[in-house]
Structure 1
Amino acid sequence: MSNANTTTTTGIKTPYCFRCQQHPDLDDPPLKRCGSCHSRRYCSRECQRNDWPRHRDECCLLAQGKPVPNRQRTTMRLNWHPWGGPGPDTICYLKTSRPHLKDVSLSGPYYPFDRVFGQMFHHMAANHSPDGHNTLTEMLMAGTANSLQRLNAPLEDGNVMHFELIREENPEVARRLPGEVWCVFVATPHPDMYSRTERRPEGFIEASDMEVRGTFTTGEAANVAAIEILEKLKAEAGPQAGIARQDADGLVKGGVYTRQGGTLSIKLVEARHETGSVTNVRAG
């Protein structure tokens, strides 16, 4: 089964299951319609039964041909591994994005792999996403959560929180965790962040994206990697780009800055020390 978020045609095998968001492959059984409204399709009786508390109120309206309020759905992408999921050397980071707040954070590294799910449940509770909580719970019970790559969790206020599980094969770090390691992150601030005047919490940077560029067993190795990344980003940005560094606590912290016309483009690079107590890392 693969993921789809589209209601494309009414063809037999293309629509998604309205509960789990997956659509059948060509050799899978076709989706079955709700027997009352004939508008919602499900891959199994279990999915239909689990969706009924949400579908109950809209079923009558759909059967009468009336419009129903649009509801956000939890969507996910699975990454199927023929060897059965993460191996003994797989560490994991969790990227959490709340686009409506221009907030991107990274937490980790997690090892064993399944430790990441506790952090996801924490975010869902703090941001009020019961649908996301239920979907992840069902995946854990079904044994499919270790293949999770991305999950979009609808919030009660109508916004959506995005999760991405970033895997890294790193036997040296896996043997050390839980324990102190060093990570290198690259953040891309929002292009208009420096043009606005409203105050933000000190040290908070509105990021459009964050990346993990490596995990290391020493601060020296992380610093070497961070400097190499700064130089590579500068070369990619062109001859007008410059590097500014403001190292702290013996670790590299800097950015690549370039201006084209009136637009300032920035990439921030930081080596961080993780002590084994997992915390969220934000740009800044």
Structure 2
Amino acid sequence: MATRTKPQIRVGIGGWTYAPWRGVFYPEDLTQKRELEYASRQLTAIEINGTFYGLQKPESYMKWHDETPDDFVFSLKAPRYATNRRVLAEAGDSMERFFGSGLTHLKNKLGPINWQFATTKQFDAEDFEAFLTLLPKKLDGLTLRHAVEVRHESFRSEAFVALARKYGVAIVLAADGEYPQIADLTAPFVYARIMGTSEKQAQGYSKKALDTWAERASQLAAGTVPDDLEPVAADTGAKKGRDVYLYVISGFKERNPAAARGIIERLHQ
């Protein structure tokens, strides 16, 4: 089998169960149990939010794997019990329970794991590095990819970017939301969560904005930070291709699938 070398750009949404999507994204006559099957054939990735709130069963991961196309990918939001704590270095037990819950049943469809931190969590270099050392690189033979979604201004720090690079962890790009933008490339992949969809636009974003996001995704995949995004630290030099995972999250949620599809269409033109 040939080894894939070209960076992949995957675009999706958060979850797949949302009542207002019925009759808008999902056909009127589609049964709820077939929503994942349908969504996974319209998009190229989904970020699972349920894993943030509690452990999922191995059978669920198996079911999600089997209902989706071979080239589909799931990102997982890591459990809040690991990130919403005063001392991050003490997150090991929560991580162990999460990694033992059966997520490797997703097999090759397991994408990056997003470790989201509270908006009040401030950067403490020693404690954050202790947290990063707890993140396993492999699990049951699968290589794991980790991203950290930090949402406090104190993380706009060269020291934080250096730590992320040291451990090969991506910094989630919050490009059009209310959280600090840190557009530095620190891992072999890019993880973006865009939050600017509006009820006024049929596809959530204007045609120009969708064009812009498709172009940004292409530049990031080529290893270049777009000029209109804001890195914190100095450029590290050599440009390397990177897989990109771009999720349309929050904003006017009813329009998020349309926005994701709009970006996918542009990437395939």
Fold shared by both chains (TM-score > 0.5): no
Bigger share in strand: 1
Q: TM-score, normalised by structure 1?
A: 0.26
Bigger share in helix: 2
Which of the pair has more CA radius of gyration?
1
Which one scores higher on RCO, CA 8 angstroms, separation ≥ 6? 2
Q: TM-score, normalised by structure 2?
A: 0.27
